[in-house]
Amino acid sequence: MAIRLKPLEQMTIGQRIALTVVIVLVILFAMAVAGFISGRWDEAPAQAITDINLYGDVPLDTTLLRLDRRALDEAYHAQLLKLWGVWLADGARHPGNFQNGLGNARRAYGLALQAIIKREHEVRP
């Protein structure tokens, strides 16, 4: 069964837009299928940042690093309170949202803690 299309010059603007949308959707769907089949569908989250430079050119200071570590702990705790509060207010119906938020918070905490530890080693070689 072959579909015959009018030449572009004979199509109305609405038909051209509809054809463009269909072509774009087919391309996007093909890319999604290719990503899923190749196994790369699940790889995107694994490509997260593993080494960040939080401090840039901020001068080294052991007292402030101690406060940075404390602030990181407090910020993480505050984020957990927020996550638990939202999940409980939702009636504990959607644990997936809580799990995603917890995963994000733990990943960010780990990255920030690594940056602080690296900075501490720069202060005390």
For residue 47, what pLDDT is reported?
A: 45
Span 79-83, average pLDDT:
94
The per-residue pLDDT of the chain, averaged, comes to 84
Tens-place pLDDT, residues 17-75:
988 999 999 999 888 887 777 766 655 454 455 667 788 888 888 889 999 999 999 99
Asked whether the beta carbons of 76 and 113 are under 8 A apart, the reply is no
Predicted local distance difference test score (pLDDT) of residue 88: 92
36 phi/psi in degrees, rounded to 5: -70, -45
**For residues 2 and 33, which has the higher predicted lDDT (pLDDT)?**
33
Q: Where are the domains of the chain?
A: 10-44, 48-123
